[in-house]
A and B are shown apart, each in its own frame.
Chain A
């Protein structure tokens, strides 16, 4: 069996895996990272979205062996343990989730969206999240949440930059 070495939410794992093992199942069944759920088997729903080296990936359409040598962030790796990530906070504040099953993937996809476009319009958010399906919210509050998170993250960044300039 091939051996993979991956870093998931800041922890390094070395494991022997079947070549066909999906990254989603590796995370859930081998590492116990069950915060990332699986909603379909055709890579349509996006519930299993994680970041691989900062880019959003549907972990059901990637093999664990393909993740070898890469750094993976799941929803469990956001925030600092005490404080929520601004994106998580925005989903809470804007009531952007109901059953919450799509939420981990939606949050991770939204982070990648903001990486590409720090100040997206509503339409850009809707287009950017097209690969992540939600059955509960009708998306309206998800769009609001992503916009709010974008504002908060931009503000945090500019504050950071000001502080850096000062020191």
Chain B
């Protein structure tokens, strides 16, 4: 099935070609590269301050235990040690780490001290902190801390954790369930009653470790009662407010700086105990402190992502039309609820229906505590899990009905003329054209040719089988309309702030509340401002990431920066122009209504030669000698933008895998991604985001897994065990775009940060399963390592599944994980 009516491909979906003078749409090389390619970067660990001390944390080696005694006396005798503290020492001032998303009124929310006081609940939880003259002395002294642990039962299996009488992670709470959250629409019973086709599946979203290349680091200095905290964070503004709340340090006495930050992917969208403790140490000691984690420490202590068990049921008619979808999730919270831990899986509630129409839908999610590292946002956050579920089910449905996987999707998806469309999960998709993206992807992929080759290999009994995987995804991004966040009980709004300063010389400073950590905002934001104000790109400088420079913001995550922060900037520029228009009218002695602004110049309508540039107006406003009546001598403006809706990027991803049925080895032969992210500010940056997103989504499908043993020990603590892909592990991607502008913001943009990750995981797994269908295989658990593929093949040949509760062999991970999760 590759024939999609070409008339469906409306002309306007072809990416627009920017006019030669426009900045928006141009593949500008990035401004920020200059410091990054020369090593003149300010990573947090690069910061040196006079008298700087170094911090190291002792972490629990046991997943669940009572701390019966800690003796730190010997630490003080170590050379170069300035101080040592236990959780008990800091108990009165360390507070409890915040959870900003109480998803239900009765959600179980345990205390979460930054340093454990009397009980540890995951391997890697801090139990003591040492401050010393240098990083070696601090780490050396850790071995002198003497801790007695009384082991408690480890809770490591979500399904067993919610059984009656299960061992408890938090004994005082009496349950391992944090919450159960339900969403229902339509008559599910009716949809399932007498349904000719019902597909039921259980899928596991394995636990992942985000693995930003820059490990976390914190520097904190105290001067008098004022504090500056530098942190490798995505969220300087949220962090400032939360640190003030936790420690009682007044917000206005606390400055938080996110200097150059080496990637985040959600892992630095957090308020970490180490950040709180560094602040407390600086306060106690009156000297600046620095903490930089090692990778092995970070794998245990940076929040993890995903980790869901999905029980899914889909009811359909014989012709493939979906009647209803039932989603029942167990989501692993880990040992504590961190900043948005409980809310992450719920973002999937609005995405399990994907791009499809259906009569009824129900979503139930239970958050479960285990003795593992807490989970929280990881690139896509809830949406990749949902997209995986529905896109795998669509392939299963196609197989059940003997239809091509694209045909069954076409029979269910929202047609381009049906937008705006109110989905079963209560969102309004403003725009999209699934037909167009699919048509383009099929052409680039040579779908029919590959299907022919697949048939040939099947006929020949080739030991290397070819599989084709489809993922026609959408996502909700541009987080988020504040009223929606409020209705979901989130603790804050979803607006973003920008201000624009026109300097006397006519140069422009843009201050944004977005906090880039690799995304290229310094370039893209300058492009937006340059276009809107009609000034040269080189005349714009973008400032961000320091609460004393950019006092207001909601930071960067959830593909929100352009769709929310970019629009705030757009609006602030318009306010500058409005002020300047009034000033220009005054200078030109014309009526304001007769002033036209274009390409950076204010001209009097119908009077050639009568014009003032923005720069001239800015200088006149600065001099302030001759102002309109009541005019404040400044063009500077700010805007706070609260989006009216989410934005909905979509696309069609096609993956061809070669699966060696003798070794289980999977090779991606080709990968085509056609994404529709609306209007594009910088195509170079968009393509880069797609590439990186694909790499992470493919890595979930094939390589990565945080593996715990039965005692709750993380066995993938190093980069030798937790396998992020190298250049040799990934294919060359073919990427292209269609363009249906978002109708809910003036830039027409949708966001691109997570699209690749959300789309690609099911495309890869669908391709693997497609290759193995003739062998009776209908699933391979992720990551689809050679051993797991081989087991799926041999298990299917035997006609039996592994016994229930048995460990899952062939888990992801290298040296430390040979035994899998048992």
Contacts and interface: CB of A to CB of B under 8 A. Distances in A.
Asked if A pairs with B, the answer is yes
Interface of A: 18, 20-21, 25, 28-29, 32-42, 44-45, 47, 74-76, 78-79, 84, 88, 91-93, 95, 97-104, 107, 122, 125-127, 129-143
B296 interface: yes
Most A CB within 10 A of own CB, among B35, B518, B696, B756: B518
Contacts of B724: 133, 135
Contacts of A135: 211-213, 263, 265, 692, 695-696, 724
B692 A42 contact: no
Given A39-B214, A125-B727, A133-B726, A75 B719 contact: no
Given A135-B212, A140-B732, A92 B695 contact: no
A137 B691 contact: yes
5 contacts: A34-B43, A129-B727, A136-B688, A137-B692, A140-B730
B623 interface: no
Nearest to B685: A95
B487 interface: no
Contacts of A74: 39
B399 to A, nearest CB: 30
Given A45-B719, A99-B213, A84 B728 contact: no
B30 to A, nearest CB: 7
B404 interface: no
Contacts of B29: 92-93, 95
Contacts of B260: 100
A28 to B, nearest CB: 8
Contacts of B692: 98, 135-138
B36 to A, nearest CB: 3
Contact of A84 (B38, B43, B718): B38
Contact of A36 (B39, B520, B689, B720): B39
Given A34-B43, A41-B718, A76-B39, A99 B33 contact: no
Nearest to B39: A35
A91 B33 contact: yes
Nearest to A21: B136
Nearest to B36: A100
A127 B732 CA distance: 13
B39 A136 contact: no
A99 B727 contact: no
> Size class of B's contact patch?
35 or more
Contacts of B719: 40, 42, 44-45, 133
Contacts of B695: 135, 137-139
Contact of A97 (B36, B46, B211): B36
Nearest to A140: B691
Interface of B: 29-30, 32-41, 43, 45-46, 48, 134-136, 211-215, 260-263, 265, 294-296, 517-520, 684-685, 687-689, 691-696, 718-720, 724, 726-728, 730, 732-733, 756
A127 B212 CA distance: 22
B134 A136 contact: no
Given A40-B215, A142-B727, A143-B727, 16 more contacts: A34-B45, A35-B38, A37-B41, A37-B214, A42-B296, A75-B39, A95-B685, A95-B688, A99-B36, A100-B41, A100-B262, A100-B518, A103-B37, A135-B265, A135-B695, A136-B213
A95 B726 CA distance: 18
A1 to B, nearest CB: 13
A45 to B, nearest CB: 6
B37 A84 contact: yes
Most B CB within 10 A of own CB, among A45, A98, A137, A139: A98
Nearest to A34: B46
Contacts of A99: 36, 212-214, 261-263, 517-518
A95 B265 CA distance: 19
B816 to A, nearest CB: 11
A18 B135 CA distance: 13
Contacts of A34: 39, 41, 43, 45-46
